Amino acid sequence: MSSYPPLNSLRAFEASIRLNSFSRAAEELNVTPGAVGQQIRKLEDWLGVELFARSVRQVKPTADGLEYAARISPALQQINDASQHLRGQREHMVRVVMPPSFAAKWFSKRMARFLIDYPSTSLHVGSSVQFTDFDRDPVDIAVRYFDGNDEKLESVLIYRGQAAAFCSPAYRDRMGFERPADLVRATLLNDILHDWWEEWLGQFAGMNPGEIAAIKRIEIDQTSMAIEAAIHGQGVVMANPLLAEEDVTEGKLIHLFPEQVQVVPLGYYLVHPKNRELRGQVKLFRDWLLGEAQELSLLQNT
């Protein structure tokens, strides 16, 4: 025998005691009176005592039934309170995942605005370069860097992918870069998550694959590390202008050749499952984020 009493029977018993009727308990639980009676009998068999005295037209709780109800009611109420509290937390929580570089370089400066606009909402932000599995991961909505094609997802473009060359002012002055072909003297900081050096140098510097392969290169598997390396004068990074924007504004980086910006077939998309209706708070976050991202569309179209 299980060490726990039958939990469905406890629900039927609590409702029957509180409402003083199997029939009214059945209405509340959306079952038949006979089903309530069966659950009560199951609990009585487990306990080894009668909880109700039954007659032809009514049932009355026994002394054991009243005593048992008085002892378990606070515990059942505590379970209900804890469950409602946790459920309420989830209803007011938005769980979003986005690429670490996007989170650090763009979103982190703006996320407090959402909580100011919607103070009753709890925002849980995760970062990962791995694609979110909405069927497995506890995530409501995500920002994904990809081509926007996934038949299972609603995808709204936030920012088209671009590739441009950035370095520190001191590195630019030391190396004397004046045109893209001068990067043959550079150390290329290659962010392997945004690997566009071959295409960019081929298009704007007219280099062939052999010439590109001969340039010194450091492979880096984190976008933020590649950008930091450029800030510290370690070479030239190929980066999405969105992710370098703040460092350019602060004078830590310069955009080497502003006219030479390559559009790439990837971008930042806001995604969520097509077959899952968004909760109210998640809809608020979606609309707020797309509103914040309007400035990016204006920037790219200028």
- Say how far apart CA 237 and CA 248 lie, in whole Å: 13
CB contact burial 131-144 (16+ within 10 A = b; e otherwise): ebebeeeebbbbbb
Q: What is the pLDDT of residue 301?
A: 54
User: To the nearest whole percent, how much of the chain has pLDDT over 70?
Assistant: 94
C-alpha distances out from residue 11 to 18, 50, 71, Å? 11, 17, 14
Coil vs helix vs strand at 192: helix
Q: Is the pLDDT of residue 299 over 80?
A: no
Taking Cα atoms as reference points, which of 209, 223, 50, 33 lies closest to residue 127? 223
Coil vs helix vs strand at 258: coil
Q: What angle do CA 157, 161, 162 make, to 5 degrees?
A: 150
Q: What are the structure tokens assigned to 219, written together?
A: 């492979």
CATH topology of domain 7-89: Arc Repressor Mutant, subunit A (1.10.10)
Q: Is the pLDDT of residue 302 over 70?
A: no
Q: What is the pLDDT of residue 33?
A: 87
The whole-number average pLDDT for the span 88-97 is 77
Q: Is the pLDDT of residue 235 over 90?
A: yes
Q: What is the pLDDT of residue 237?
A: 97
Assign domain 92-302 one CATH number from 3.40.190.290, 3.40.50.720, 3.40.50.1100, 1.20.1560.10: 3.40.190.290
pLDDT in tens, 130-179: 888 888 888 999 999 999 999 999 999 999 999 999 999 999 999 999 99
Inter-residue long-range contacts of 2-5, CB under 8 Å, 24+ positions, other chains counted: 5/43, 5/46, 5/47
pLDDT in tens, 54-67: 877 778 889 998 99
Q: What is the pLDDT of residue 91?
A: 65
Q: Which pTM value belongs to this model?
A: 0.69
pLDDT in tens, 113-123: 988 988 888 89
Q: What are the structure tokens assigned to 210, written together?
A: 């052999």
Coil vs helix vs strand at 99: coil
pLDDT in tens, 243-293: 999 999 999 999 999 999 999 999 999 999 998 888 889 999 999 999 988
- Say how far apart CA 246 and CA 298 lie, in whole Å: 17
In which residue ranges of the chain is CATH 3.40.190.290 found?
Answer: 92-302
In which residue ranges of the chain is CATH 1.10.10.10 found?
Answer: 7-89
